[in-house]
Amino acid sequence: MEGNITPNDLWQVVENDRAHVWHHLIQHAPFETADPRIIVEGKGMRVWDQNGKEHLDAVSGGVWTVNVGYGRERIANAVRDQLVKLNYFAGAAGSIPGATFAAMLTEKMPGMTRVYYSNSGSEANEKAYKMVRQIAHKRYGGKKFKILYRERDYHGTTIAAMASGGHHQRNALYGPFPEGFIPVPHCLEYRAHEQDWAKGLSGEDYGIAAANQIEQVILREGADTVGGLILEPITAGGGVIPPPPGYWQRVQEICKQHNVLLILDEVVCGVGRTGTWFGYQNYGVQPDIVTMAKGVASGYAAISCTVTTEAVFEMFKDDSSDPLNYFRDISTFGGCTAGPAAAIENMRIIEDEDLRANTDVMGARLMENLHALTEKHAVIGDVRGVGLFCGAELVSDRATREPVHEAKVQAVVGECMAQGLVIGATNRSFEGYNNTLCLSPGLIATADDIDAVTDGIDSALTKVFS
Ligand SMILES: Cc1ncc(COP(=O)(O)O)c(C=O)c1O
């Protein structure tokens, strides 16, 4: 570990943290007897904690974010240069990095033309919902206001984002939620036997049936009441669920037929994670609105984008005589220039270092290694993923697919952490189904890194399950 902080200072940092910081997503009682973890430094794929212990990070900052790795001076320098030139101006005006990044981004997204800046994935999704609602009021007498979301998908932490979230345990105790958000079934084929409409179906038959379930909900609610459908291209925190074959094509048809705007939440898949620039580009689908955050600037600055087609954008400017007919929304920090300055450099790094090609090669290696582990560990029931975005679902019985208890899953995560390997798992998302290990190493991963990740999981599984 490098830097100027001495062990003595770090003791004080730990005590300040224990006394004053409220960490995300964690029960704090254990900190009365054990130290909270402080991450002090990062370089490439590795981070160091307050004790100087090195960790190989297989989840890009814990939550699939630091795609280009830690310690990128190019990004830091670009942000620094921009901050001394102009750090901020409200987003009613433009900025040089804002305009530049919007052009670079939409160039990678054929059919999409407009970028609305904000700060987090949740916020980007809220913007999309507000667009759907405003269109409903302006064009459909307020009637086409409902937004469909899918079980097991996650769209963020704010109240409306939770209302559209399929993670029941996450949502528990935070209601009541706003109305107009309606669930459709998940499309995890491995659990098809638990879905009444899917019994006996597999492959494309399952994919088309899962998409048809969306149409069933639209018909039940009334197509004239449904304005939008939000989906993750590949479900992330809900257990890494790539869509089954046939799914996306049918979803697209259904949206077109019922005049429902298709919103794709690329907060995790966006900007290289699956080898394509965006997850949806693996499936030939054409969205109306795309949201993104985490990998846009790899966590070097807070930035999120809500990207739309020109047709969506036009609906907010075609009647300038109506004083309410523009998008009356603001995100104060959407005007921070650090975000797009970091995003420009992040995208250039992915191009200069050909990291999407690396993602394809290393993602294939990761899947191959995980499949090899299934031969040795009967507890791995299913391995899923695209690019450097993989999940391994743990079951106590391969025949019945009974999920292992989440305590066992957390024991595997804890064992990896003890070895100096950071992995993730579905966490307090669904009662009884927090049983998937999640991996999203940086797009810079080498073959040795990938092998170290799967070797670590191998020994953790051996320790916990034998
Ligand atoms: C798919 C997806 N959408 C939205 C979000 C919310 O993003 P944020 O935490 O930046 O608000 C997340 C966060 O994990 C996510 O995984």
Q: Are residues 61 and 202 in the same domain?
A: no
**Residue 51 domain-assigned (yes or no):** yes
Q: Are residues 237 and 165 in the same domain?
A: yes
What are 6-58's pLDDT values in tens digits? 766 889 999 999 999 999 999 999 999 999 999 999 999 999 999 999 999 99
Q: Are residues 213 and 193 in the same domain?
A: yes
State how many domains the chain has: 2
SS3 state of residue 380: strand
Query: Which pLDDT score is estimated for 4?
Result: 62
**453 burial type by CB count under 10 A (0-12 exposed, 13-18 middle, 19+ buried):** buried
* Length of the chain (residues): 466
Of the pLDDT bands very low, low, confident and very high (cuts 50, 70, 90), residue 428 is confident
Both tokens of residue 432? 């009884």
- Work out the number of other CB atoms within 10 angstroms of the CB of residue 200: 8
Q: Is the pLDDT of residue 318 over 80?
A: yes
- For residues 22 and 7, give the distance between their C-alpha atoms in angstroms, rounded to a whole number: 23
CA of 321 to the centre of ligand 1 (A): 37
Both tokens of residue 128? 């999309």
CA of 237 to the centre of ligand 1 (A): 9
**Domain closes at, from 317, 352, 387:** 352
Query: Which pLDDT score is estimated for 319?
Result: 87
CA of 204 to the centre of ligand 1 (A): 29
By most ligand atoms within 8 Å of CB, the mutation choice from 155, 263, 438 for ligand 1 is 155
> Which residues line the pocket of ligand 1, CB cutoff 6 A?
63, 120-122, 154-157, 232, 236-237, 265, 267-268, 293
Q: Are residues 303 and 407 in the same domain?
A: no
Continuous segment of H or E residues that includes residue 140: none
Q: Are residues 144 and 173 in the same domain?
A: yes
Average pLDDT over residues 381-409: 98
Average pLDDT over residues 342-370: 98
Query: Which pLDDT score is estimated for 7?
Result: 65
Query: Which pLDDT score is estimated for 182?
Result: 98
Q: Are residues 253 and 344 in the same domain?
A: yes
Written in H, E and C, the secondary structure of 169-221 is HHHCCCCCCCCCEEEECCCCHHHHHHCHHHCCCCHHHHHHHHHHHHHHHHHHH
Q: Which residues fall within 8 angstroms of residue 186, CB to CB, at 6 or more apart?
A: 150, 151, 152, 153, 166, 210, 235, 238, 241
**Residue 312 domain-assigned (yes or no):** yes
Query: Which pLDDT score is estimated for 5?
Result: 64
Query: Which pLDDT score is estimated for 80?
Result: 98
What are 274-284's pLDDT values in tens digits? 999 999 999 99
Q: Which residues fall within 8 angstroms of residue 401, CB to CB, at 6 or more apart?
A: 190, 191, 193, 381, 395
Q: Is the pLDDT of residue 3 over 80?
A: no
Q: Evaluate whether 109 touches 148 at the Cβ level (below 8 Å).
A: no
What are 78-95's pLDDT values in tens digits? 999 999 999 999 999 999
CA of 224 to the centre of ligand 1 (A): 29
